[in-house]
Structure 1
């Protein structure tokens, strides 16, 4: 039995001010619906949890003793949730309208044996209210090799070749997409439980892509509502630090290994490794980060062999 309509789940890791602003926007703009807010703190060191508990006594807080990453932290929060629906919301999001109610109403009115909705999301805007990355096409071995190859060519020859965007491609009204950005993912708890939640092997990056790929495999639709908007302050910005690149590429390898045959993965892995090797010769990267990066490449080769 569900006690509330929606459980809003936020993962916090040293983002105290962002999280507080996010929670405040939820309370300011959400009405006409029963909901709860759950915050998982991933062992922050900035006093986030104490500040959140003082400012918002009604918020359910979970104090993790370690940094669980995005997927595992959300899985943990889902175990404490009492909502019919789960709304996974990034801490750097700001609600500017009654978005949660609109998403709830759409899900309730459209989800049936014909539509079989897995998840819905909305249009994300940046600080200037311009369209931010809100949805994307599923990555494939070919698409990722092509993307990296063009990046390398542009950097080497100072050219400006561009790929056709896989994200924010033209939609009709409330159209089905491959996957919704993980910053605002609205899903029924029954579906989330059926899919066993986020794959805990993904620490960061690709966890929402993998979840929605499994939805696709089970004929569950992913829908973007084009009449609902949320501000996503840092959407689309990916750190170029080698440590971040290592985590991202490791997750990409896991995703490809999980969803494609071994021979496809091995070909993809081999080409990607060749294209990524110049990274080891970038002087701005530390020797420690280069060593971790190289170990990650070797480890993913061993996984594919076994």
Structure 2
């Protein structure tokens, strides 16, 4: 039987040292094919980093010196965001791959995640997506999955709705020792069945920075593929090393969130969501004036035209 093929896709944005560390951990932890490991490749998408950061990354493709897998480095002339950057990487993946592994470059593997998640997916035909257990840089266990946004959970709270449907709202703080079905896993590590991913057309590239994992899980669910946390597989996430939180970045979250609502909720529900988030941010304006600006932005409907995506300028540099 041929080994299963995994295409690992990383996005680099002005953070080449994290990318090197991530790739080193993949090579170190992933068992070779001759020891019943997976056959894997690594595709790195540079999301229009500054030239010096991109140039520093070029030697990573010399896989023969690194005694590792085939490594491709793709340079985008425009910042495509999370979804777009990963979809560019998909274009260069082996078309016969069995699984895509979308892994943040500011992560390092603690276990042989690729083999563990491959084995789980092979044994679980209804799994479209799974993730490993996340730890922080200090070694503490982190919340690794979340809940798809609903009016009930936002207004009544997750604890209340869990009483009526515990299977749909498993506790995010519980320590799990066996795989568990969850609503969605955090986007820092998304291990996806390629056939299911291809069936739904991949990521929705209208999501520039946020809510990609919720949208992916929702569309897989509509095709009767489920999401699982596999806690035996472990990784460390040095959170948010490529993204600086600013007002514009905070706006981007609500642009993506309301794009999600427009896709899956009625106009009446969207109106209630808008009121909820307007009040949630508006009541915190004394703490920081940025919340008042966010509340006003939400009140205006979180228009997609104000996304950072539309401020991109195509670079003339290679």
TM-score normalised by structure 2 residue count: 0.77
| 1:135-192 deviation line (CA, Å, top 9, x unaligned) | 1121223434567xxxxxxxxxxxxxxxx99634464621111101111111121111
Cα offset, 1:272, TM superposition: 2.1
The answer to whether the Cα contact below 8 Å between 1:126 and 1:231 also exists between their aligned partners in 2 is yes
2:19 aligned residue:
19
Distance 2:290 2:297 in 1: 15
Quickly say closer, same or farther: Cα 1:127–1:253, change in 2 above 3 A. Answer: same
Q: Structure 2 residue aligned with 1:121, among 116, 120, 131?
A: 131
Quickly say closer, same or farther: Cα 1:71–1:20, change in 2 above 3 A. Answer: same
Q: Structure 2 residue aligned with 1:205, among 193, 203, 210?
A: 210
The answer to whether the Cα contact below 8 Å between 1:42 and 1:68 also exists between their aligned partners in 2 is yes
The answer to whether the Cα contact below 8 Å between 1:269 and 1:301 also exists between their aligned partners in 2 is no
Quickly say closer, same or farther: Cα 1:68–1:168, change in 2 above 3 A. Answer: farther
TM-score normalised by structure 1 residue count: 0.80
1:132 aligned residue:
142
Q: Which runs of 5+ in 1 are unaligned?
A: 148-163
2:103 aligned residue:
89
The answer to whether the Cα contact below 8 Å between 2:281 and 2:295 also exists between their aligned partners in 1 is no
Distance 2:27 2:211 in 1: 29
Alpha carbon RMSD of aligned pairs, Å? 3.2
Distance 1:49 1:104 in 2: 31
2:121 aligned residue:
107
Distance 1:80 1:269 in 2: 39
Q: What secondary structure, in the 3-state scheme, does the structure 2 residue paired with 1:47 have?
A: helix
Cα offset, 1:302, TM superposition: 10
Distance 1:141 1:55 in 2: 46
Cα offset, 1:242, TM superposition: 2.2
**Stretch deviating more after TM superposition (13-22 or 39-48):** 39-48
Distance 1:256 1:300 in 2: 11
**Stretch deviating more after TM superposition (81-90 or 136-145):** 136-145
